[in-house]
Amino acid sequence: MAQFKIVLIVALLSIVGLAKSNTNQAILDSAASYYSKGQFEKAINSYEQVLKNGYESIDLYYNLGNAYYKSNKIPWAILNYERAAKLAPSDEDVKFNLELANTYIVDKIEVIPEFFLNSWATGFVMILSTNEWAILSLLTFVIGLTLLLIFFLSGKVWARKISFWFGVLLLIVSLFTFNFSRKQKWLIENEPSAIVITPSVVVKSAPSETGTELFLIHEGLKIKVTDNRGVWRQIKLSNGSKGWVKETDFIVI
């Protein structure tokens, strides 16, 4: 009886999942149709509906970004291109469209020069997404263990030498890629990036309306969120400037 209930539950979940998948695909097809006809607002509504259904993908964020771009809603286009880039950091189409959208940003913030080794290391870690680094770590770990197993079982000297050194090498690679995944996840969780969506925002020196006005930023700018106090969030710009804005002034990528 218990086994029957488990089978029934699995079957029902499969049916619900399939129905949801079909529904999302139908909405995506209609969104593509709206986009091709130049009905960008309808396309946006359709893509956003799929996101609300809990589905996300590189193509979904990319196409939604394109629809926002065509609607001249640049901050929202940048937001979705950035979300696509988070899933696929090396995608050339995403990078190109993101760079194009960024040319419309009012604020041109100079980046603080960073020691080249730190800059290189951070850039390298961001080549792949957190999940891609994790998958690569798992694959190299499994292959490395397999080669070490061959080392212990093989009776041929040349096979033992090759399997041992390649196995050790892959285990080291697995350790590094695991750390890359963990570091990227830490950066995303502890200092998340966000896009300003309010047309213009006065950045304050303190989390209060009475705080001193430090500087002005505009929609579309990418920022880091470093702290929070109630409805206020401390932000950091790429030039190192810090201050406080309200949480409603931006959306986390």
Query: What is the model's pLDDT at position 38?
Result: 96
- 40 vs 27, 34, 70, 97, 132, CA distance in Å? 14, 6, 7, 17, 32
Query: What is the model's pLDDT at position 173?
Result: 95
CATH of 193-252, one of 3.20.20.70, 3.40.50.620, 2.30.30.40, 3.40.50.360: 2.30.30.40
- Segment holding 215, helix H or strand E: strand 213-218
Query: What is the model's pLDDT at position 163?
Result: 93
pLDDT band at 115 (very low <50, low <70, confident <90, very high): low
**Per-domain boundaries in the chain:** 2-102, 116-190, 193-252
Least confident window among 19-28, 65-74, 199-208, 229-238 = 19-28
Per-residue pLDDT tens for 146-174?
Answer: 999 999 888 888 888 999 999 999 999 99
- Tokens for 146, please give them: 């397999």
Q: Topology of 2-102 in CATH?
A: 1.25.40
Query: What is the model's pLDDT at position 85?
Result: 92
Are the folds of 2-102 and 193-252 the same?
no
- 10 versus 107: which is more confidently predicted? 107
Q: Would you call 139 helix, strand, or coil by DSSP?
A: helix
Per-residue pLDDT tens for 199-235?
Answer: 999 999 999 999 999 999 999 999 999 999 999 999 9
Q: What is the percentage of the chain residues whose pLDDT exceeds 70?
A: 87
Query: What is the model's pLDDT at position 6?
Result: 52
**Mean pLDDT, rounded, for 51-76:** 96
- Within 10 A of 220 (CB to CB), how many other CB atoms are there? 22
**Mean pLDDT, rounded, for 16-41:** 84
Query: What is the model's pLDDT at position 67?
Result: 98
* pLDDT at residue 3 greater than cutoff 60: no
Query: What is the model's pLDDT at position 15?
Result: 46
